[in-house]
Amino acid sequence: MTTVYITTTIPYVNARPHLGFALELVQADVLARHHRGAGRQVRFQSGTDDNSLKNVLAAQAAGIGVQEFVDANAATFTGLAAPLRLSVDDVIRTSSDPRHAAGVERLWRACAASGDLYRRSYEGLYCIGCEQFYTAAELAGGRCPDHGTVPDLVSEENWFFRLSRYAGQLRGLIADGTIRIEPAERRNEVLALIDAGLQDFSVSRSTERARGWGIPVPGDPAQVIYVWWDALGNYLTALDYADDGENFGRWWTGASRRVHLLGKGVLRFHAVYWPGMLLSAGEALPTDIVIHGYLTEHGRKISKSSGATVDPYDLVARFGTDPVRWWLLREVPRGGDADFTIDRLVSRANDELANGFGNLVSRVVALIHRYCGGQVPAGSASGSGSAWASGSGSGSGSVSVPGDSPLARAVADAAASIAEALEVFDFRRATEAVWQIADQANRYVNRARPWELARTGASTELDAVLSALLSACQAIGNYLAPFLPDTAARISRQCTPDEDGLLPPPAPILPRITPPIAASGPPPGASRRNVRPSQ
């Protein structure tokens, strides 16, 4: 059985989540649903990074205890599973999950046993926002290129990891595709980074500078483990790595694919530091590292620290889950940045969801009720046991659309087009394949003019047209399932006949969003762990 392990990054919880992290969650969910629909075994995992100095400083600024602070904010991240309709299997929290600290300690000891950890004094420029050291050459006018802040000059004795030992091996694994980095320009960026020379990096902080927060270095309580070492370990620790548990053997060592989704700002950590740590520890490597770009708002990067934030809870409360998911999947280019505006979200939802998918399905079902009494026309898929009516999102099976028409080709090509696009993590191209069915079906209605066929008594031709349109709608319900599970389910129910071959009465699928758009507050987040998939 093919097994696929899909992870998101685990975000700092120094503030509420923003739309940029929602993008990563939705992309991971689409992959998870797609692979499940194809019959593969899938584990979709997310979590929160609690053990950061920036979390400590934010808690102090708020005047509350660090654990209380991270618990409250972590709940707003894990709580996104409900409004975004995420089929997440497990969530790990680095400050409180008992699996985590023990697993991080095991990883530390494994690298120490390989002779790759040593202590030395160090002085460098440290950005708390990034939780990393920078060289002067990497700064922009003396400021962090990401946060725009002046890094602190830090001088102390830390533990270091011998990353330089693995430079040649890492380069070979990335160049030959053993570790596949998508898109290709990001792979080239990593190769250039390696070619410039890899330096050993600091993997601990003094307990004093960390304010006593974090996982102590095994055998050295005066130091805590560097937050990135700690955080990267979550991909193993949530699998019961500390105990070499069954989940670790199944989903890491034995998995067919180990897929990490992440933003371009943390590429170095996931594509260089993390594989180096795994090589040192003698563990399997990720097979796919998938990098998305940034979301911006009016040209400014959306982030917790920049002041440019868009709250996904608020967007879902105002517009619904599927308009938000659809914008993220349709507007964001593969690996590139995208600028978010409410107008673009509303326009995309109205043009494609309401006027496209929704209007098409309502129109076709209404025509079948008007001219066929709701009885499925001869030649249509019955829906009983049909992949088109199941909403499984498997992309398997076939559907009959008569003739060599653009609509027939759109339906026939959809399965392969979606699979090929998602294989290279191109969500925009994958959703385009589904949209093409709706676009061609709407054009087909206007060309075929079933109302004219009914008026002239051309019953055979009318049945053929309505059958083709219903089959196309059933195909949309099937193929849309990984992207918009709720809308796909509504379409499938509307297009599935009962045991007597009758379709349900026409019902609205997706309403248009009309101004004025009233704002509403976000619902409270709820902590989720070991959440079973909702499909």
CB atoms within 10 A of CB 450: 23
Regarding whether 226 and 111 lie in a shared domain, the answer is yes
**pLDDT in the model for residue 528:** 34
Regarding whether 179 and 76 lie in a shared domain, the answer is yes
Regarding whether 156 and 103 lie in a shared domain, the answer is yes
Spatial separation of the C-alpha atoms in residues 257 and 288, rounded to whole Å: 7
Residue by residue, DSSP assigns 368-386 as HHHHHTTBPPTTS---TT-
Looking up residue 158, the CATH number of its domain turns out to be: 3.40.50.620
* Residue 341 within any structural domain of the chain: no
**pLDDT in the model for residue 391:** 30
Strand partners, 152: 126
Phi/psi of residue 480, nearest 5 degrees: -80, -15
Cis-peptide, bond into residue 323, ω within 30° of zero? no
Spatial separation of the C-alpha atoms in residues 6 and 8, rounded to whole Å: 7
Side chain identity, residue 199: Q
Regarding whether 241 and 92 lie in a shared domain, the answer is yes
Last residue of a domain, one of 266, 290, 310: 310
Side chain identity, residue 18: H
Q: Which of 513, 489, 79 is nearest to 318 (CA)?
A: 513
Would the pTM of this model clear 0.75, i.e. be above it? yes
How are strands ordered across the β-sheet holding 295-297?
A: 300-301, 295-297, 338-339
Spatial separation of the C-alpha atoms in residues 381 and 411, rounded to whole Å: 14
| 510, 353 Cβ separation under 8 angstroms | yes
Regarding whether 429 and 486 lie in a shared domain, the answer is yes
| 239, 252 Cβ separation under 8 angstroms | yes
**pLDDT in the model for residue 532:** 33
**pLDDT in the model for residue 303:** 79
**Quick one: DSSP state of residue 288?**
E
* Residue 117 within any structural domain of the chain: yes
Question: Could you tell me where the beta strands, DSSP code E, fall in 207-366?
Answer: 216-217, 220-225, 257-263, 288-292, 295-297, 300-301, 338-339
Angle among Cα 16, 20, 23 to the nearest 5 degrees reads: 120
Regarding whether 373 and 295 lie in a shared domain, the answer is no
**Residue 310: CA count within 13 A, CB half-sphere:** 24
* Residue 534 within any structural domain of the chain: no
* Residue 177 within any structural domain of the chain: yes
**pLDDT in the model for residue 516:** 59
**pLDDT in the model for residue 378:** 76
* Residue 113 within any structural domain of the chain: yes
> Token digits for 40?
């593969």
Regarding whether 356 and 265 lie in a shared domain, the answer is no
Provide the domain limits for residue 56: 3-310
Cα–Cα distance list, 95 to 52, 117, 182 (Å): 10, 24, 31
* Residue 516 within any structural domain of the chain: no
**Quick one: DSSP state of residue 336?**
S
> Token digits for 331?
């507007």
**pLDDT in the model for residue 300:** 86
**pLDDT in the model for residue 382:** 46
* Residue 468 within any structural domain of the chain: yes
Ranges under pLDDT 50 in the chain: 382-401, 518-535
* Residue 326 within any structural domain of the chain: no
Regarding whether 395 and 284 lie in a shared domain, the answer is no
What Rg do the C-alpha atoms of the chain give, in angstroms? 26
Spatial separation of the C-alpha atoms in residues 211 and 206, rounded to whole Å: 9
Side chain identity, residue 31: L
| 380, 502 Cβ separation under 8 angstroms | no
Regarding whether 367 and 264 lie in a shared domain, the answer is no
Last residue of a domain, one of 261, 282, 310: 310
Helix 359-372 crosses helix 485-494 at what angle (to 10 degrees)? 10
Residue by residue, DSSP assigns 242-278 as GGT-HHHIIIIIT-SEEEEEEEGGGHHIIIIIHHHHH
Domain total in the chain? 2
Q: Which of 439, 442, 419 is nearest to 430 (CA)?
A: 419
> Token digits for 507?
């019902």
Looking up residue 474, the CATH number of its domain turns out to be: 1.10.730.10
Regarding whether 397 and 300 lie in a shared domain, the answer is no
Largest CA distance in the chain: 90
Regarding whether 297 and 391 lie in a shared domain, the answer is no
CB atoms within 10 A of CB 199: 11
CB atoms within 10 A of CB 265: 17
| 117, 160 Cβ separation under 8 angstroms | yes
User: What's the start-to-end Cα distance of the chain, in Å?
Assistant: 20
How are strands ordered across the β-sheet holding 220-225?
A: 204-206, 220-225, 216-217
Regarding whether 200 and 113 lie in a shared domain, the answer is yes
